[in-house]
Structure 1
Amino acid sequence: MLDLNHNLRFLLASSQLFPFNRGYHHTDADHDLLKQAAMAFAMVAAGDLTQAIGVYGKLIEEQPKLAFFYACRSLLNMETGDQEGAFYDYQAAKALDSNYHTYLEWRMNAGQMLEAEELADLNKQIAADDTNPQLFINRAMLLVQHFNYEEAIADLTQAYARKQNADVLVSRAAIYMRMVRYDAALNDLSLAASLSPNHSTVFMYLGKLGLAVADFTGALTNFNQAIALDAGNPLLYEERAQYFEAVEDWANAIQDYSVLIGLNPEDFFAYALRSDMYQKLGLLKEALLDLDAAIRLNPYYSDLYQYRGEIKKSLHDLVGAAQDFEKYQELENEL
C-alpha cells in the first residue's frame, strides 16, 4: 500500500484548491505550500484574479515540478482569455502528471452532456428498478464518457451500497483519479484491497497512483504485485512499462513491451511504443523493424510513417524517408 501523508503532489491534488472549484476541499495537512494554495484560492474567490495569477507564477518558479500550480494558472488563464498561456500551462501540467490532462479536460467540458437516448433509457430502467447495481454502473460509465464525473461517482456509490464489490470501488477510484482527488482514490483502492486481496487491477491502480505522485518505489512494488497476481494480463505490462519510461529505464521498458507483444502480437501500438524505447537507446535498426511491424498491422495510421521517416533519415536512407513523409502527408490529407 502507499503511504502518501507527506507527499506534496498527493496533498496538493487532494486539497482540490483549484480556482472556481465550489465542491470538495480538503486542507487538513499543515504545509506552507498548501497554505499558499489556500491563499490563492481565496484571492480567486474574492475576484482578484490578477493577483492570484501572480501567486501561482511565483509558486511555479519555486516548484517547477508540481503540476498542481500549472493547472491552477491554466484555469485562470482560460478565464481571463489568455488562451496561449492556458495551453502552455496545460501542457506543463500534463507532462508532469497525465491525470491533469483529464482533470482540465473535465473542467472545460463538464455539464455539456445532452439527454442522449441511451441515458434516457437507463434513467427509465433505474426508475423502474433501483435495486439493480449494474444499472447504476452502466449509467456511470456513460456519464464518464460525457465528463459528468460527479454524477458518475454518485451512481457508483449507489451501486456499491447495493452490493459491496471491489470492482465498483476500482471504477470509482479510476474516476477520482481523473478528478485528481487522490485521497478519495486511495481510500477506495485500500478498501478494495481489503475486500479482494488478490485483485490485480487494484494493485495496478495503486501503481498508477504512485506513479502520478512520483512515489516510484511504491509504484513499482504495486505494479510488480499486480503482475504476480495476473501474469497473463497484457495491460499490466503496458502500465509497468510506462513506469519504466517515467524513470528512464529504457531497457526494462523494452522487456515489458516485448512481453506485451508476445501476449498480444496484433497490437500495432505496442510495436510503436517499443520502437520509441529502442530509439532512446540509440538502437535505430531495431526501432525501424518495430515500426515496419506496426505499419504492416495498421497501414492507415499516419503518424507511424512520420516516425519511420525520421528513423530512415537518421540512417541516411533519404529516399525511404521521403517516401514515408509523403505517405504521412497523404494520409493526413484524407482526414
Structure 2
Amino acid sequence: MNATSVKRRTAMRGFALTAALLSGLALAGCQTAPTGEFTNIDKAQGSAENISSLSAVIQRSPQDPEGYNVRGSAYGRGGQYQAALKDFDTAIQLNPNFYQAYSNRALIQRFLGDQAAALADYNRSIQINPDYDAAYIGRGNLYRKAGRIQEAFNDFQKAIQLDTTDARAYHNRGLIYQSQSQHAFAIEDFSTAISLAPDAAEPYNGRGLSYLAMNDEDNAFADINMAIKLDGKNAEAWSNQALIYERRGDKAKAAKSYREAVRLSPTYQPAKDGLARTSTG
C-alpha cells in the first residue's frame, strides 16, 4: 500500500486514541522502539576512520557548521554521545537556524536522559522548518515513550503526510495501532515499514505480533523467524518465537527459544515467565 492510500484510510478512521496497552502474554513485547535511530542522521558512519576524515574536513573549514553536524552524527552512531553533543552545539552556534542539527542534538539529549532538552530541540527544529519529517518522527518517539500517545500519533501522522521515506514513521504508528488492538491497520503500517527498510528486524517482529493477535499463526511465525534471521540478538523475537512453539505444544523448542531470549536480555520478564512455564513438568 502506498503512502497516499494509507493517509486516506487513516483520515477516514479518525478513532480516538487511548493510553491502553495490549493485554495478554502474546503481545507483551509490542511497545519496543526500533533500534538504529542514528542510521537516519545524515548517513554518517561511526567508524574511527570516518571520524578522522571528518575532523580533517573541519580543520580545513572550521566555520562550516555542516562539518560539525556530520561529525556529530558519526560520534552519535559510535556511541560517543558527549562528543556528538559538543559538535551539534558548535554547529548551532555557527548557524542558529540549522534545523537538522537541532533534531540531531535532540536525539542525543534523549539518549542522555534529558527529555525536556530533547523536546525543546525538536520543537525548535520544527519551528524553523515545519516540513522536516525527521524532527516529527523523533519527537513522536519521545512522546510515545512518555505515554503521550495521541501526540505521538499526530507526529508520526504528520511525517507520513509529508511523504517521508523513513520507515520509523510507519513502524511507530503501527505500534500505536497495535497498542489499540487495531491490528489490520498495524499490519499495513508494518508492511510499509518493511518495504522501506527490508533489512530491519523490528517491523517483522511487530507485524508477527499483530498476525498472532489475529490468530494467523503461520504468518506470525514466518515474520518472527525473519526478525530473528535479520537480528539474532532480538530478545523479544526469540521470546515471541518461543510463544508460538508453546501454543503449538512443543515445550522443548519453546524452552530453548525462551532461554535464548533470557540470555540476550536477562531482565525481559515475558521470556523469564515463559521459561519458567516450559522448563517445569
SS at match of 2:130: coil
Deviations 1:120-143 (A, max 9, x none): 554454344311223212332233
Q: Does 1:149 find its partner at 2:95? A: no
Structure-1 separation of matches of 2:154 and 2:170: 13
Q: Is the radius of gyration larger for structure 1 or structure 2?
A: 1
Moved more, 155-164 or 168-177: 155-164
Match of 1:136 among 47, 63, 68: 68
146-155 vs 199-208, which moves further: 146-155
Which one scores higher on RCO, CA 8 angstroms, separation ≥ 6?
Answer: 2
Which residue number corresponds to residue 269 of structure 2?
A: none
Superposed CA deviations along residues 157-177 of structure 1, whole A, max 9, x for unmatched, are 211233332211110111111
Identity %: 21
Q: In structure 2, do the counterparts of structure 1 residues 206 and 314 end up closer, same or farther at CA, with 3 Å as the change threshold? A: same
Of 206, 217, 221, the residue aligned with 2:154 is 221
Q: Distance in 2 between matches of 1:257 and 1:96?
A: 13
Is the partner of 1:150 in helix, strand or coil? Answer: helix
Match of 1:209 among 136, 142, 145: 142
Instruction: Give, in whole Å, the separation in 2 of the partners of 1:143 and 1:231.
Output: 25
Change over 3 Å in CA distance of 1:138–1:258 after alignment to 2: closer
Distance 1:204 1:268, change over 3 A: closer
Q: 1:205 to 1:282 in 2, by over 3 A?
A: same
Instruction: Verify the 8 A CA contact 2:201 2:230 in the aligned structure 1.
Output: no
Counterparts of 1:98-109 in structure 2 under 5 Å? none
* 2:128 is the counterpart of 1:186: no
Structure 2 CA distance, aligned partners of 1:299 and 1:195?
Answer: 37
Say if 2:248 is the partner of 1:315.
yes
1:301 aligns with 2:238: no
1:172 is the counterpart of 2:105: yes
3-state SS of 2:220 partner: helix
Matched, 1:235 2:168: yes
Question: How far is 1:225 from its partner?
Answer: 0.9
Secondary structure at 1:136 match in 2: helix
Q: Secondary structure at the match of 2:116?
A: helix
CA separation in 1, counterparts of 2:148 and 2:134?
18
Aligned residue type for 1:157? D
Cα distance in 1, alignment partners of residues 212 and 84 from structure 2: 41
Offset, 1:299: 7.8
Between the aligned partners of 2:215 and 2:191, the Cα distance in structure 1 is 17
C-alpha separation between the residues in 2 aligned to 1:161 and 1:305? 45
State the number of aligned residues. 216
CA distance in 1 between partners of 2:102 and 2:85 (Å): 10
Alignment-derived partner of residue 270 in structure 1: 203
Report if aligned partners of 2:207, 2:220 keep a CA contact under 8 Å in 1: yes
Residue identity in the other structure for 1:135: G
Over 3 Å counting, the alpha-carbon distance change for 1:325 and 1:96 in structure 2 is closer
- Residue 73 of structure 2 aligns with an amino acid whose one-letter code is M
- Partners of 1:162 and 1:257 in 2: CA distance: 39
Q: Using the alignment, how far apart are the partners of 1:302 and 1:181 within structure 2?
A: 27
Task: Give me the whole-angstrom Cα distance separating, in 2, the residues matched to 1:192 and 1:176.
Answer: 14
Q: Structure 1's 117 and 219: CA in aligned 2 closer, same or farther, altered over 3 A?
A: closer
**Cα distance in 1 between the residues matched to 2:233 and 2:151:** 37
Tell me, yes or no, if the aligned pair for 1:305 and 1:324 is still in contact at 8 Å: no
1:103 maps to none
Q: CA deviation at 1:223?
A: 1.2
Name the structure 2 match of 1:158. Answer: 90
Aligned CA RMSD, in angstroms, stands at: 3.9
Residue 113 of structure 2 aligns to a residue in which SS? coil
The answer (yes or no) to whether the contact 2:31–2:175 under 8 Å persists in 1 is no
Query: Where does the alignment leave 5 or more consecutive residues of structure 1 unmatched?
Result: 1-94, 99-115
Question: TM (normalized to structure 1)?
Answer: 0.52
Matched, 1:244 2:169: no
Pair 183,315 (structure 1): closer, same or farther in 2 beyond 3 Å: same
Alpha-carbon shift at residue 248 of structure 1 (Å): 5.6
